[in-house]
Structure 1
Amino acid sequence: MTSSSGDWSARANYWRGDRALGGHVRVAEGVLTFEPHGLERALGGDTAFSTKLVDVVRLSRAPRSFRVPRRRLVVTTRSGDEAYFLVSKLDSVIRRLAVAIESDGGHVDVDLDPSAPLDVPEDHPDNSRLMNWVFSAWGHVVGLTFWSLALVGVLQGSRNRVVLIVLAALILFSGWRAWAGFRRRAAIRAQLAEPRPDHE
């Protein structure tokens, strides 16, 4: 969407840790912003992003990964902060952003195939209440206990082979999700204990 003044916006997902917030990136009055849509805000995803265009020093494409199979836009600011956005027509958005930055008096490096490894945000879990509830290990511990008791009951009764296979699969899944949930919680504790780096 483009206005007569040259301001424009595009649908985007903005990564806050391992949570991708839906909304729009917008260029207006020399500022690049991300605004989450109403549903995300209602679910605790109220993190916005805002930086002056002249403070953007690098635009790049994050490589694809197993968890995010599409390339993302990486915006790097003068302070060293990085913001990751998933947008349609990525190269077109990068070109439009570069033009807007240069028009506003800034200078930006465009790197469409970065060779250096990127510290992807999904390696740093989002500590919001919603995400902690979704990935809670304790719910899966309860599930693991329930399915284990159900398996014991089946073993003492009919020993139906199909039921045994289904219950075994549910036990393995619940155990894996519980392990992943406790691991995620440990990663959050570790990142909260790390001091935020000071940028020049």
Structure 2
Amino acid sequence: MFGKGFRLFSYGTIPIAFGGSLSWLEFSLIEYEAISLILAPILAILQGLQVLQVQKCYHTLNTSQPETFILHFTGLTALGLSVPAFHSWINSTISADASWESIDYLLIGISIMFMPYYKYSEMWLQLNLTAYDFMVLEQAKFWAASIGQWFVQNMAHATVFALTGKIVMLGALVRYFTEIKRLQRTDYNDLSPALFN
């Protein structure tokens, strides 16, 4: 009834989503309002729908050049977000005693170069991978970032929950990619007799 893609989805993506989210869980540092806690799962659902909608638009437009589609999509997104960003900038006040360190200036400067490459590669992956493969890579990125945070901040935010999430995520990633290899080998074995007959 269900294809190989659904089996692969059920094998790996649920533990990956759980492990990736748990990797960041730090009860002592959680600052949230009840509404943000309620809306967090809705945000994840909307991000998944956005990936599917972007893929649908790309295939509907039948564009041979993904670069053109990515340029138009990111340009329209930037245009749409410029209005609330401008409104926020107008209404914000920066304290006179706010001190910027040299690293802050460096990060702002690097972000101008980093963000176009980051968004291009993210959109390219969204257009060329299935939605659940993209989700796996996205969660793997966040998982790697949570490990990097431990090293950069000298294990300042290490908790048993975050460690458990990292271990679950590692096991789920190994299982997911092992299953992909097995399915590719099965597809190749199914194809071989047809080629030689």
TM-score under structure 1 length normalisation: 0.29
Which structure is higher in helix share?
A: 2
- Ranked by relative contact order (alpha carbons within 8 Å, sequence separation 6 or more), the top structure is 2
Q: Point out the structure with the larger strand share.
A: 1
Give the number of the structure whose alpha-carbon radius of gyration is greater. 1
